[in-house]
Amino acid sequence: MKVIVGKDLLSANAGQAGENRVLFNNNRVTVINLISAPGSGKTALLEKTAELLRGKLKLGVVVGDLYTTRDAERIERAGVTVVQINTEGVCHLTADMVARALQEVSLDQLNLLFIENVGNLVCPVSFDLGEHAKVALLSVTEGSDKPAKYPGIFREAVATVISKVDLLPYTDFDLPACLEEIQKINSDQQVFITSARTGQDLSHWCAWLEQLAAGKAKGNNLASR
């Protein structure tokens, strides 16, 4: 009887992730793995990003969700190429899931591809999908202690987006303390303090994405391209 352990699963995933990355590189498309807890505002961020980058970059999104196509439908209405992955209860995307989804995407027509991972700050961090960069998203409604409680994603991310900052006056979110925690965990990353509702700092976020797509952005774990 063969016993499958976590190390075996990650090893198999790494092989497919490497194949995905070769495919991305061959098509000259930059890929971002967007990771957050449920309800942090990933879809709203992507909608606004698509709006602001229209005519500048050609975007695609692979949407990971447990069930439904609601997020994918919202992003598609923003004029973006979208492919839905329903994991049916699995708490993260795998490189194999992404590989199958890529069969529905014309990568050579894109500059930037987002993988909107399943809402979870733990499991998705361990699974390489072949992306060039991980980006963490944290909303002010979640609490400023999340970086300390879930350091893995903030350690791996080349950027952290703090969202829903327009709600800051109505929460007890300690922004300076949160920024200090992020700095302690990973000082070599970009931090954007944003609101999809008001547009705060989204211009800087989009400018950074343009630099990333052009290979000019700085980060601590950008894969070789």
Helix ranges, the chain (H): 6-26, 42-53, 70-77, 95-102, 123-126, 146-149, 151-156, 175-185, 202-213
Each residue of 134-151: pLDDT tens digit? 999 999 999 999 999 999
Beta carbons within 8 Å of 201's beta carbon, 6+ residues apart: 165, 192, 193, 194, 195
pTM for the whole thing? Answer: 0.91
Classify residue 3 by its DSSP letter.
P
- Token look-up 């000259």 returns 28
C-alpha distance from residue 76 to each of 79, 90, 135 (Å): 5, 24, 21
How far is 105 from 52, CA to CA, in rounded Å?
A: 22
Which secondary-structure segment (H or E) carries 163? strand 159-163
Domains within the chain, CATH numbers bracketed: 29-213 (3.40.50.300)
Each residue of 4-30: pLDDT tens digit? 444 566 788 899 999 999 999 999 999
Each residue of 84-125: pLDDT tens digit? 998 877 788 999 999 999 999 999 999 999 999 998 899 899
Beta carbons within 8 Å of 18's beta carbon, 6+ residues apart: 130
- Per-residue model confidence (pLDDT) at position 12: 82
C-alpha distance from residue 170 to each of 12, 41, 143, 174, 199 (Å): 45, 17, 12, 12, 18
Helix (H, G, I), strand (E, B) or coil at 143: coil
Q: What is the DSSP string of 65-120?
A: ESS-SHHHHHHHHTT-EEEEEE-TT-SS--HHHHHHHHTT--GGG-SEEEEE--S-
Worst-scoring range by mean pLDDT, 9-23, 154-168, 176-190? Answer: 9-23
